Amino acid sequence: MKKFWFAGKVAVTLLMLYAIVLFLIIYEYPILGAVDSPTLTAGVPTFILFIWIVNTCYIIVTAIVVYWMFSNAKKIEWKATSQKEGA
Amino acid sequence: MEDFIIILAGLFAYILVAVYIGYRGYRSTTHTLEDYFLAGRGLTVILLFFTIYATYQSAYMYIGVTGFTYTHGVGIWYSNVANLLMGFMFLLIGVPLWKLGKNFGYITQADFFAHRFDSDILRLIIALWMVLGLTPYIGSQVLATGRALSTISEGAISFGLAAALYVITVIIYTSLGGLRGVAWTDLVQGLLMLVFIWVGIFIILGEVGGIGALFEKVQALNPELLSIPGPKGLMTPAAWLGFMLADGLGCIMWIQGWMRFYVGKTWKTMAMMSFLVPIGTTLTFLPAMLIGLSGTVLAPGLTSGDQVFPTLMINYLPVPVTMAIIVGLFAASMSTVDSLSLALSASISKDIYARIQPQTDEKRLVRMGRLWIIAVIVAGGVVGYAAAGTYIVVLLTLLSLSLAAILFPVAIAGIYWKGANKYGSIAGIIAGVIVGVKTLLFGPEFYLGVYGGLWAILACAIVLIIVSLITPTSEKEKKAEQKISNALASPVITLMEVEEAYKLK
């Protein structure tokens, strides 16, 4: 795993795990199939309701993660001189 | 017919605005590669959001998503989830690529791969693959808008004439303004499409009796439309997974998406796209899906799902609203093709032409870029014309996405795995292309129930890993990887290889 100026190796690994859990488990069939139903829930198809709830959670959680990245990152600076090869 | 003239007048007014913005972009561009193709790497949050949003929400949304919902039901939300995946990838790929682009002066998508793996062959393969893989997508846009205009005019404007009008407009404003012009037109186009699709659905829902009544009527008529796998059984677990990954990863690997990684003013601008883009796409998917479902109530029995939105417009919307939505459709479609053709022309100029003619200076490359824009749009138009009556828009788009997604394992390995080498990358891409072409173009599209696009990505990943492990990595590759790792870890931006990046002589 790589280290970034905005996140260390552990944080980047956690970011990847977040994506895997979200897109390969929560948004996938074992869960979608379980919540899916031809009946309506609160007047809305259950499937659509579930997707919207998860989408909203994604947007909130990811915005928090991004805010954390902003506060955690080292300030980007411009350096006019060339770095040494491989430095 | 008189109604149609009003619609056409609105469309021409919009076209004039787009061309004017392109002209303004032309006046403010300095005709360097960086300025013309990347808007000087200076797009702010609003401009970047709208150029990404408008680029991805194409005619696919107006015609494809509505038509797919009409036929297969709510399973179309796989594509919305794919958009979220694409948004998230801004954190894992977009932000790192922004830094690398700034550090090493990348212009095209292939610049990163050629630098990381020290391989001009890889550069050429990626550039050619994008040109070949994305031409069908330009075709799908021409197909969708041409079909819509022809349907609405009740044949007064033929499909061919509509396609020609579309192609000429995009060529003019894109070739003039470069990315600066494209970004501003995308802002206007993004707003138009977002506003007008909501206006349309509010009126159509009124015809159905409201959103609650819509769901109740669909449930009574065909309840399978409201759940997965849908009435035709398309959205099986394996199909959902395959479609979603091919769509989301293809979006991120599309050349026009990739080059957006270089254009943010700061890295924070890029990071914010991870949650802003999903907000935009979720807000657009909802009305598009509702239009498709409304079609099953108001216009049952259409031979092709792609006809549903134009049919509803003709029968249920007042003329001014129809005009606005047609403008929105054109805007949605053009905002995709302009970005795509610009990115492809950058790649042809820098990755292919500049290698064949290394003496070419930057200004000439920009001029050549304008000609390539014409070439790729015309080629795409021919594909769309030829595909009329064969593929539906969603599947044509998915084909293009899948062909691009083959590169995803190489991109991830290039950033995160220092053991990846050029032999592995080239072998992986070749394996992915063979599997992708076999399954997606020659069929069967599904193998063991899984979409061929996913098999192509897996083939690329497996071969990339195996070949990288058993072949040597050159010293130059190791050094390049080290420099990239250092650049990603360092908070310092240093244009380390400016001469190399722009080395054209």
How sure is the predictor about B504, in pLDDT bands with cuts at 50, 70 and 90? very low
Q: Which residue from A1, A51, A69 is facing B271, i.e. has the nearest CB?
A: A69
Q: What is the 3-state secondary structure of B300-333?
A: CCCCCHHHHHHHHHHHHCCHHHHHHHHHHHHHHH
Q: In angstroms, what separates the C-alpha of B482 from chain A's closest C-alpha? A: 6
Residue B44 phi/psi, 5-degree rounding, is: -85, 175
Same domain for B374 and B417, yes or no, is no
Integer angstrom CA distances of residue B31 from B25, B194, B219, B369, B471: 11, 32, 57, 11, 42
Q: Which residue has the tokens 């062909």?
A: B403
Report A:23-42 residues touching B (Cβ under 8 A).
Answer: 23-24, 27-30, 32-33, 36-40
Task: Report pLDDT digits (tens) over B222-251.
Answer: 999 999 899 999 888 888 999 999 889 998
Same domain for B179 and B264, yes or no, is yes
Residue A21 phi/psi, 5-degree rounding, is: -60, -45
Query: Is residue B398 assigned to a domain?
Result: no
Q: Taking CB atoms and an 8 Å limit, are A16 and B96 in contact across chains?
A: no
| DSSP 3-state of A75 | coil
Q: Taking CB atoms and an 8 Å limit, are B92 and A16 in contact across chains?
A: yes
Give the C-alpha separation, B436 to B11, whole Å: 38
Q: Taking CB atoms and an 8 Å limit, are B92 and A37 in contact across chains?
A: no
Q: Which residue from A29, A78, A80 is facing B240, i.e. has the nearest CB?
A: A29
| Statement: residue B477 has pLDDT above 70 | yes
Same domain for B388 and B474, yes or no, is no
Q: In angstroms, what separates the C-alpha of B231 from chain A's closest C-alpha? A: 11
Tell me what pLDDT residue B498 has: 46
HSE, side-chain direction, 13 A CA sphere, residue B137 = 34
Tell me what pLDDT residue B64 has: 84
Q: Taking CB atoms and an 8 Å limit, are A2 and B226 in contact across chains?
A: no
Query: Is residue A55 assigned to a domain?
Result: yes
Same domain for B365 and B414, yes or no, is no
Task: For residues B193-202, give the mean pLDDT.
Answer: 88
Residue A80: closest CA among chain B residues belongs to which residue? B494
Tell me what pLDDT residue B78 has: 93
Q: Name the more confident of B226 and B137.
A: B226
Cβ-count burial of B219 within 10 angstroms (0-12 exposed, 13-18 middle, 19+ buried)? middle
The count of domains in chain A is: 1
Q: Taking CB atoms and an 8 Å limit, are B486 and A62 in contact across chains?
A: no
Q: Which residue has the tokens 């280290």?
A: A3
How sure is the predictor about B497, in pLDDT bands with cuts at 50, 70 and 90? low
Q: Are B327 and B14 in contact (CB under 8 A)?
A: yes
Task: For residues B469-497, give the mean pLDDT.
Answer: 88
Query: Is residue A34 assigned to a domain?
Result: no
**Residue B160 is part of which domain span?**
2-393
Q: Name the more confident of B140 and B366.
A: B366
Query: Is residue B169 assigned to a domain?
Result: yes
Which positions in chain A touch B65 (Cβ < 8 Å)? none
Q: B474's torsion region: left (phi>0), alpha (psi -120 to 50) or beta?
A: beta
Give the C-alpha separation, A61 to B86, whole Å: 16
Give the C-alpha separation, B333 to B57, whole Å: 8
Same domain for B374 and B274, yes or no, is yes
How sure is the predictor about B184, in pLDDT bands with cuts at 50, 70 and 90? confident
A·B CB contacts under 8 A: 149
Query: Is residue B367 assigned to a domain?
Result: yes
A20, A21, A37, A40: best to mutate for the B interface, most B CBs within 10 A = A40
Same domain for B371 and B444, yes or no, is no
Interchain contact A5–B (C-beta under 8 A) = yes
Q: Which residue from B228, B271, B483 is facing A86, i.e. has the nearest CB?
A: B483
Query: Is residue B227 assigned to a domain?
Result: yes
| DSSP 3-state of B484 | helix
Q: In angstroms, what separates the C-alpha of A66 from chain B's closest C-alpha? A: 6
| Statement: residue B491 has pLDDT above 50 | yes
Q: Which residues contact B266 (CB under 8 A, 6 or more apart)?
A: A76
Which positions in chain B touch A70 (Cβ < 8 Å)? 268, 271
Q: Taking CB atoms and an 8 Å limit, are B226 and A19 in contact across chains?
A: no
Q: Taking CB atoms and an 8 Å limit, are A48 and B87 in contact across chains?
A: no
Q: Which of B393, B420, B437 is the endpoint of a domain?
A: B393
Tell me what pLDDT residue B388 has: 63
Tell me what pLDDT residue A32 has: 87
Query: Is residue A85 assigned to a domain?
Result: no
Tell me what pLDDT residue B91 has: 94
| Statement: residue B466 has pLDDT above 50 | yes
Task: Report pLDDT digits (tens) over B257-285.
Answer: 899 999 999 999 999 999 999 999 999 99
Q: In angstroms, what separates the C-alpha of B484 from chain A's closest C-alpha? A: 9
| Statement: residue B307 has pLDDT above 90 | no
Same domain for B167 and B237, yes or no, is yes
**Residue A50 is part of which domain span?**
40-72
ipTM (interface pTM): 0.91
Same domain for B438 and B366, yes or no, is no
Give the C-alpha separation, B36 to B177, whole Å: 8
Specify the amino acid at residue B7.
Answer: I
Q: Which of B365, B393, B421 is the endpoint of a domain?
A: B393
Q: Taking CB atoms and an 8 Å limit, are B216 and A46 in contact across chains?
A: no
Task: For residues B376-397, give the mean pLDDT.
Answer: 71
Q: Which of B393, B424, B448 is the endpoint of a domain?
A: B393
Interchain contact A71–B (C-beta under 8 A) = no
Tokens linked to B78? 């796989």
Q: In angstroms, what separates the C-alpha of B273 from chain A's closest C-alpha? A: 10
Tell me what pLDDT residue B458 has: 96
Task: Report pLDDT digits (tens) over A28-85.
Answer: 988 888 888 878 888 889 999 999 999 999 999 999 999 999 998 888 877 765 554 4
Tell me what pLDDT residue B249 has: 93
Task: Report pLDDT digits (tens) over B426-463.
Answer: 999 999 999 988 988 787 888 888 889 999 999 999 99
Query: Is residue A44 assigned to a domain?
Result: yes
| DSSP 3-state of B23 | helix
Judge if pTM exceeds 0.80. Answer: yes
Tell me what pLDDT residue B387 has: 66
Which residues face A5 on adjacent strands?
none
Tokens linked to B327? 């403008």
The count of domains in chain B is: 2
CATH code of residue B335? 1.20.1730.10
| Statement: residue B464 has pLDDT above 70 | yes
Same domain for B96 and B64, yes or no, is yes
How sure is the predictor about A86, in pLDDT bands with cuts at 50, 70 and 90? very low
Same domain for B368 and B460, yes or no, is no
Q: Taking CB atoms and an 8 Å limit, are B271 and A70 in contact across chains?
A: yes
Which residues face B450 on adjacent strands?
B447
Give the C-alpha separation, B285 to A23, whole Å: 18
Query: Is residue A14 assigned to a domain?
Result: no
Task: For residues B354-371, give the mean pLDDT.
Answer: 84
Q: Name the more confident of B324 and A44.
A: A44
Q: Taking CB atoms and an 8 Å limit, are B493 and A79 in contact across chains?
A: yes
The mean pLDDT of chain B is: 86
| Statement: residue B396 has pLDDT above 70 | no
Out of B8-17, B411-420, B451-460, B478-487, least confident range: B8-17
Q: Are B404 and B250 in contact (CB under 8 A)?
A: yes
Tokens linked to B364? 């000439």
Query: Is residue A46 assigned to a domain?
Result: yes
Q: Taking CB atoms and an 8 Å limit, are A58 and B278 in contact across chains?
A: yes
Which positions in chain B touch A52 (Cβ < 8 Å)? 282
Give the C-alpha separation, B400 to B417, whole Å: 27
How sure is the predictor about B320, in pLDDT bands with cuts at 50, 70 and 90? confident
Residue B83: closest CA among chain A residues belongs to which residue? A55
Out of A58-72, B397-411, B466-480, least confident range: B397-411
Q: Are B207 and B40 in contact (CB under 8 A)?
A: no
Same domain for B374 and B472, yes or no, is no
Query: Is residue A66 assigned to a domain?
Result: yes
Q: In angstroms, what separates the C-alpha of A25 from chain B's closest C-alpha? A: 10
Give the C-alpha separation, B470 to B162, whole Å: 53
Q: Tell me which residue of B52, B74, B448 sits closest to B260, measured CA to CA.
A: B52
Q: Are B343 and B111 in contact (CB under 8 A)?
A: no
A4, A40, A81, A85: best to mutate for the B interface, most B CBs within 10 A = A4
Same domain for B214 and B313, yes or no, is yes
Task: Report pLDDT digits (tens) over B147-169.
Answer: 777 777 777 778 788 888 888 88
B49, B81, B222: best to mutate for the A interface, most A CBs within 10 A = B81
Task: Report pLDDT digits (tens) over B32-66.
Answer: 888 888 888 889 999 999 988 888 777 778 888 99
Q: Tell me which residue of B165, B164, B149, B2 sits closest to B62, measured CA to CA.
A: B149
Which positions in chain A touch B240 (Cβ < 8 Å)? 28-29, 32
Q: Taking CB atoms and an 8 Å limit, are A85 and B483 in contact across chains?
A: yes
Residue B230 phi/psi, 5-degree rounding, is: 90, 170
Query: Is residue B258 assigned to a domain?
Result: yes
Tell me what pLDDT residue B127 has: 92
